[in-house]
Each structure stands twice: as C-alpha cells, then as structure tokens.
Structure 1
Amino acid sequence: MPTASKSYVDANAARQLVADHGAVLVDVRTPGEFATERAEGSRNIPLPLVKAAQAALGEAERPVILLCASGTRAGQAKDLLGEETGVPVHILEGGLTAWKRDGAPVESSGRRVWGMERQVRLAAGALVIAFVALSLAWEPLKWLGAAIGAGLVVAAVTNTCAMARVLAFLPWNRRAA
C-alpha cells in the first residue's frame, strides 16, 4: 500500500483550521488515554478503528486534523486513510504534547492513565526482568527475554508496536471518555 502524502500543521494552524473551516480534531489514542486528557473539542477514533471511520470523516465535508500523544500514531492513521477521504487530512505536528505546549485548550477527566508508550516500556521491562530471573531456574527462558528485546527492535525499525496493540485491549485503555 503506498504511503499517503503527509500534511503536518502546528497547534496554531490547527486551531485556525478549526475556527475558520470547522476542521474536526480526531484523536487516535486509546479511549483510556483520551479520557485522561484531550484537546478541547476533539473526538476519539482509536487507531484500530480509523479505517472503518473513513467514510464518515469524508461525509462531514470538513478538514480533518489527526492527533495522538506525539504524532506517530496520527501518522499511522493518515497512512491508513490514504487520500480516499475526499477532504484534507492533516497531522498535528508534535501531537497533544505540542498542543499543550502552545497553550491550546485541553479537557481532562482527572483520571490518570499512563500513555501507551509508557505502558509498553513497563510491560517490556517487566517481562525481560522476569524471564532473566526465571532463566536462573530454567536456562532456556533467557530466549524469551531476548525475544522481547527483538520485538522492541522490530517496533523501532517499523514504527509499529505489537505490544501496544495488545495493551490497547486492557480495560483501562478501552474505557470511553
């Protein structure tokens, strides 16, 4: 599948698109992350559901601005959407982090759910420690620890993360805002 051309906008340009053209802010993070903190007025369409929402995004006949925590998942969402929405689709450069840094308004539930990247680091680190410790009792378990490390290398090289996709199914990541 060819990669869609990527149009990045900063927080100020995104706010201007919302004000002038009624652009739709689409947050592609998990529902748990979205419930914790989100750009004011944004709606949540988690990354795995973006392709299914493609037609609805085009029917709104308004520009779409994709965002996530840092911009990576928004870029993946843009790749999934391709050029077929029929409306301009932009990526918020720097994600919610840049949005907040530029003083743009955010909404918060007061709930604290760790971001997906932090959850992945915790899970991967805990698994490696567990497999290394258990390998003292049964040596072949060291290879499971090595497999986790290899998975992290693949995640970095491909800019995708299977562990994040699995963690997205945990209850705190699935709660609606």
Structure 2
Amino acid sequence: MTAPLTPVALGVDQARTRLPGFTVIDVRTPGEYASGHLPGALNIPLDHVRRALPELRDAARRGDLLVVCASGARSDTAAGLLAEHGVPAATLTGGTNAWAADGHPLDRPAACDTRAGWSMERQVRLTAGTAVLLGLVLGLLVHPTFQLLSAGIAAGLVFSALTDTCGMAVLLGKLPHNRPRATDLDATLAALRER
C-alpha cells in the first residue's frame, strides 16, 4: 500500500523560481481570477475541481501542479482533494495576496475583466462598514434590535479573520457586476490538455 500524498506548501520565492515548470491552477471564482492571477494560471474554480480530475491527473503526469487562491485556504482544500485522488500538487503559501505583496506581477487580461471597478477587498470593506453603520443608526433611531445587524457583521469579520475565508466576498462575487462571464470549463480543460 502506498503512503497518501501530502500537498507541499511553497513560499512565494520558491514558487517564483519554479514557476516556468508549473502548471498553475487558480481555484478562485472567475471574478477573483479576472482581478489578477499568477502569470499563465488557468481558472478552475474549487467547485469544478472534481470534474477536472482526469485532466489534472494527466497534467500532473506531464509536470508539476501549483494550486493557488487568494490566501491559500481554498488551494489547500483543492490540493487535499487532488491528493485524495492520487494527484500531487503544491500550494502557494499566502496565495495571490502574498504573491502581489512581494511585488510580483499579476495578469489581468482584458477579456476577463469584471464590470466592477473596485477590488473585492474594497467591496467587502464598503459592504461591511455600511451594514455596521446602518445597524447602529437604525438601532438608535428605530429599534435597538437593529444593532444585532452590527453585531452579526462584526462576528462574521472575526470568523473571516480566524478562518482566512470571506463569506461576504463569496456572496459579493455572485453579483452581476462581479461576474465577467461564467467559467468556460471546457475551454480551460482543453487548454490544460494542450500543455
């Protein structure tokens, strides 16, 4: 019996030096991917990884896979799923956020641009701040129960920080202005087969 695969986590510098040898899979939503992704990355959202297993397995046989997301949480999940199916993959510690923070370029092709002019992080800050302010004002002027809205948003932000996830970003990503177009998974898988 073979030992189960364990995904390897690479730092930004390690990933950068090995980038030409990787097939990079970005598991974020299409809107997040369009806002900036590692050069040459293909977008296979996390909820489509199972469907892409045959192509990902073939790609891993031809070379190394690097799975990325915004912070590393979703890519860890994807790499774990791949490992369960015998597909070795590395992840980028800190995700595209760490990549960009180190000053490395992100591709933003015009064909994938969202209609939103603001980054997802800025949209989350605006939405959370507005909801907290609205809860406080309505709590003072209408009924104190409205302050629960502010408390709920605060609890969500704490949970988001502790788990390194953002449910509000996922919800905002579903809005029409944040969706460039649906992921053309068939085209992505065809491109993956050609690599």
TM-score norm. by structure 2 comes to 0.70
Cα distance in 1 for partners of 2:50, 2:119 equals 22
Structure 2: which 5+ runs fail to align? 184-195
Q: Look up the match of 2:108.
A: 108
Aligned pairs for 1:43-82 (under 5 A) are 43-60=42-59, 61=61, 62-79=63-80, 81=81
Q: Look up the match of 1:152.
A: 157
2:35–2:119 CA contact under 8 A, matched in 1: no
1:131–1:144 CA contact under 8 A, matched in 2: yes
1:122 aligns with 2:121: no
Question: How much has 1:137 moved relative to structure 2?
Answer: 1.6
Percent of aligned positions that are identical: 40
TM-score norm. by structure 1 comes to 0.76
Cα distance in 1 for partners of 2:161, 2:82 equals 22
Q: Please, what is the CA RMSD of the aligned residues?
A: 2.9
Cα distance in 1 for partners of 2:170, 2:58 equals 28
Q: CA distance change for structure 1 residues 27 and 113 in 2, over 3 Å: closer, same or farther?
A: farther
Q: CA distance change for structure 1 residues 103 and 85 in 2, over 3 Å: closer, same or farther?
A: farther
Q: Look up the match of 1:29.
A: 28
1:30–1:173 CA contact under 8 A, matched in 2: no
Question: How much has 1:18 moved relative to structure 2?
Answer: 4.7
Q: Pick the aligned partner of 2:171 from 158, 162, 166.
A: 166
Q: Look up the match of 1:92.
A: 92
Cα distance in 2 for partners of 1:70, 1:158 equals 11
Question: Which secondary structure state, in structure 2, belongs to the residue aligned with residue 37 of structure 1?
Answer: coil
Cα distance in 1 for partners of 2:149, 2:102 equals 43
Q: Look up the match of 2:186.
A: none
Q: Deviation per CA, 1:85-113, whole angstroms, max 9, x where unpaired?
A: 42321111232244346665542236575
Q: CA distance change for structure 1 residues 101 and 148 in 2, over 3 Å: closer, same or farther?
A: closer
Q: Look up the match of 1:139.
A: 144
Q: CA distance change for structure 1 residues 122 and 53 in 2, over 3 Å: closer, same or farther?
A: farther
